[in-house]
């Protein structure tokens, strides 16, 4: 971690810096509040040690100023006044912890260890939250299919190295899920896994999303920001749909990959980054290189280890197990038990080609569980393109689950799918749904309908 020590006493500065160094952290000194705020603006810090009494200044005022300027890193306070009132006031204001002066180096190390534990917990919580938002059922990393087995084997072996990796395969084949898994198996697992969806952003916004910007560097840049490269420090940066990155941003990405260096937009100061890059695309990158849309040098940098995920139609041996997993997951989620798939429904599932791959399968199973009223999924619960034309039990207007044990989100997803099925254009569907086209685009992506 990089830590700012704010104290007007040089012996305190020295002892703290030394304790941090023995734990492998870097530190920078500031002797006053104004100097501290300037240094915070110049560099990125993971934490701050701040003296409560900085000469004439009150550390708590400096703390308030930090927060009002948007510096959100944890702060540990030094206080010679270890009175309970001061400590309570400080923690009530959001100070992470305090160390009473005079202290011994071990107290600094203890405070830091507490901070590291809390950081790793925050990472785990955000990881779990994003999984819940993904509504991902039990994820399988085993397969009957030899190509998929090989993908998992290579992924497992390469996870421990720090090599960049390219995940290739059609949409919905599990590239994002596998990237997360690679991160979890790597030595970086205790640090963040950060995703950037490349095509949803303009050139300028993508560059800012990646590298951050300083206030005033372009229209709309109203305050300083740190990008996702910074957020992924020590961890993994996952670039989804990398083929869609504009050429100018590709050049900056190449520099990041080669030299680990980057600059925020509007700033000349060069910064170093410790991130591992995993990138995914459903496009043929070699073709993109040939067409001049993707830099060849960047392609070779990323292509050190490439994993090709086959479409679901090419690994039908896994279908039945996946269906069972998904059915169990949604049945449990909806408070039902022992839901099975009837034989003819399973046959239709096996015969279908699954162009949207695992994501489509997941959505179809969820939809079936909303529609089926009894304890089994029948052919009529499947969408017409899979059942071969049989009418759905829910009918064109009614949904069997309506008023039942179904969440609003599930109803919304189902409604969007049906409106899209029935609309001649995207704009028309957006109008019917009462949302703008960009929102509908994002929702379609989330539902695997792109």
Ligand X SMILES: Nc1ncnc2c1ncn2[C@@H]1O[C@H](COP(=O)(O)OP(=O)(O)OP(=O)(O)O)[C@@H](O)[C@H]1O
Pick the closer one to ligand X by CB: 134 or 263: 134
Pick the closer one to ligand X by CB: 204 or 240: 240
Question: Minimum distance between the CB of residue 371 and ligand X, rounded to whole angstroms?
Answer: 19
Contact segment (CB under 6 A) with ligand X among 139-147, 267-275, 285-293, 373-381 equals 139-147
Question: Minimum distance between the CB of residue 377 and ligand X, rounded to whole angstroms?
Answer: 17
Torsion of CA 339, 343, 345, 346, to 10 degrees: 90
Site for ligand X in 308-347 (CB under 6 A): 322
Question: Minimum distance between the CB of residue 286 and ligand X, rounded to whole angstroms?
Answer: 18
Q: Which residue is nearest to ligand X (CB)?
A: 174
Pick the closer one to ligand X by CB: 301 or 359: 359
Torsion of CA 132, 341, 374, 389, to 10 degrees: 100
Question: Minimum distance between the CB of residue 366 and ligand X, rounded to whole angstroms?
Answer: 9
Pick the closer one to ligand X by CB: 119 or 417: 417
Site for ligand X in 150-179 (CB under 6 A): 171-177
How many residues would you count in the chain?
Answer: 450
In the block, residue with structure tokens 């006031």: 89
Half-sphere exposure (CA, 13 Å, Cβ side) for 343? 0
Contact (Cβ atoms closer than 8 angstroms) between residue 279 and residue 194: no
Question: Minimum distance between the CB of residue 392 and ligand X, rounded to whole angstroms?
Answer: 22
Please give the full DSSP string across 51-93, using - where no structure is assigned.
Answer: ESEETTEEHHHHHHHHHHTT--S-EEEEES---HHHHHHHHHT
| Distance separating alpha carbons of residues 35 and 374, to the nearest angstrom | 68
Pick the closer one to ligand X by CB: 87 or 323: 323
| Distance separating alpha carbons of residues 193 and 62, to the nearest angstrom | 32
Binding track, positions 344-383, relative to ligand X; x by CB under 6 A: --------------xx--x---------------------
# of chain residues touching ligand X (CB under 6 A): 19
Contact segment (CB under 6 A) with ligand X among 1-9, 136-144, 207-215, 332-340 equals 136-144
Q: Does 36 bind ligand X (CB under 6 A)?
A: no
β strands within 131-210, DSSP E: 165-168, 193-197
| H-state helical runs in 186-295 | 203-211, 228-231, 247-259, 285-290
Question: Minimum distance between the CB of residue 279 and ligand X, rounded to whole angstroms?
Answer: 11
Pick the closer one to ligand X by CB: 234 or 310: 310
Contact (Cβ atoms closer than 8 angstroms) between residue 233 and residue 274: yes
Pick the closer one to ligand X by CB: 293 or 308: 308
**Which of residues 204, 207, 240, 366 is near ligand X by CB under 6 A?**
240
| Distance separating alpha carbons of residues 143 and 298, to the nearest angstrom | 32
Contact (Cβ atoms closer than 8 angstroms) between residue 228 and residue 210: yes
Question: Minimum distance between the CB of residue 280 and ligand X, rounded to whole angstroms?
Answer: 6
| Distance separating alpha carbons of residues 192 and 416, to the nearest angstrom | 33
Question: Minimum distance between the CB of residue 167 and ligand X, rounded to whole angstroms?
Answer: 7
Report the alpha-carbon angle 190-26-215, nearest 5.
Answer: 85
| Distance separating alpha carbons of residues 47 and 4, to the nearest angstrom | 7
Question: Minimum distance between the CB of residue 176 and ligand X, rounded to whole angstroms?
Answer: 3
Q: Does 136 bind ligand X (CB under 6 A)?
A: yes
Binding track, positions 253-292, relative to ligand X; x by CB under 6 A: ---------------------------x-x----------
Report the alpha-carbon angle 186-187-190, nearest 5.
Answer: 100
Pick the closer one to ligand X by CB: 3 or 196: 196
Pick the closer one to ligand X by CB: 402 or 438: 438
Pick the closer one to ligand X by CB: 25 or 140: 140
Q: Does 134 bind ligand X (CB under 6 A)?
A: yes
Pick the closer one to ligand X by CB: 77 or 167: 167
Contacts (Cβ under 8 Å, ≥6 apart) of 136: 177, 362
Number of neighbours of residue 402 by Cβ within 10 angstroms: 11
Which residues sit at the interface with ligand X, rule CB under 6 A? 134, 136, 139-141, 171-177, 240, 280, 282, 322, 358-359, 362
């Amino acid at each position: 971690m990089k830590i700012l020590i704010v104290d007007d006493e040089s012996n305190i500065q020295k002892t703290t810096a030394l304790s941090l160094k023995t734990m492998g952290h870097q530190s920078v000194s500031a002797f006053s509040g104004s100097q501290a705020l300037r240094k915070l603006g110049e560099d990125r810090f993971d934490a701050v040690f701040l003296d409560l009494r900085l000469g004439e200044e009150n550390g708590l005022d400096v703390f308030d100023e930090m927060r009002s300027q948007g510096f959100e890193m944890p702060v540990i306070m030094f206080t010679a006044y270890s009175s309970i009132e001061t400590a309570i006031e400080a923690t009530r204001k959001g100070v992470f912890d305090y160390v009473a002066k005079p202290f011994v180096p071990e107290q600094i190390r203890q405070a830091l260890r507490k901070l590291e534990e809390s950081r790793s917990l925050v990472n785990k919580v955000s990881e779990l939250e994003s999984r819940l938002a993904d509504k991902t059922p039990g994820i399988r990393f085993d397969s009957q299919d030899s190509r998929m087995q090989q993908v998992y084997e290579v992924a497992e072996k390469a996870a421990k190295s720090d090599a960049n990796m390219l995940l290739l395969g059609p949409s919905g084949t599990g590239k994002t899920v596998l990237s997360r898994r690679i991160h979890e198996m790597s030595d970086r697992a205790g640090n963040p896994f950060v995703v950037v969806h490349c095509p949803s952003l303009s050139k300028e916004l993508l560059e800012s999303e990646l590298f951050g910007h300083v206030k005033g560097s372009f229209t709309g840049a109203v305050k300083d920001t740190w990008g996702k490269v910074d957020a992924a420090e020590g961890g993994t940066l996952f670039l989804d749909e990398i083929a869609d990155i504009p050429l100018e941003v590709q050049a900056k990405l190449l520099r990041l990959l080669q030299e680990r260096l980057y600059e925020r937009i509007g700033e000349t100061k060069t910064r170093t980054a410790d991130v591992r890059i995993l990138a995914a695309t459903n496009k043929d990158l070699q073709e993109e290189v040939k067409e001049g849309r993707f830099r060849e040098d960047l392609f070779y940098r990323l292509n050190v280890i490439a994993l090709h995920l086959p479409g679901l139609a090419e690994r039908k041996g896994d279908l039945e197990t996946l269906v069972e997993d998904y059915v169990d997951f949604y049945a449990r989620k909806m408070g039902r038990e022992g839901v099975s798939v009837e034989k003819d429904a399973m046959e239709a599932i096996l015969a279908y080609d699954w162009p949207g791959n695992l994501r489509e399968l997941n959505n179809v199973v969820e939809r079936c569980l909303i529609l089926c009223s009894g304890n089994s999924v029948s052919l009529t619960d499947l969408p017409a393109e899979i059942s071969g034309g049989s009418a759905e039990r829910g009918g064109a207007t009614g949904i069997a689950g309506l008023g039942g044990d179904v969440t609003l989100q599930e109803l919304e997803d189902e409604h969007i799918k049906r409106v899209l099925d029935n609309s001649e254009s995207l704009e028309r569907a957006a109008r019917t749904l009462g949302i703008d086209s960009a929102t509908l685009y994002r929702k379609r992506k989330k539902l695997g309908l792109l």
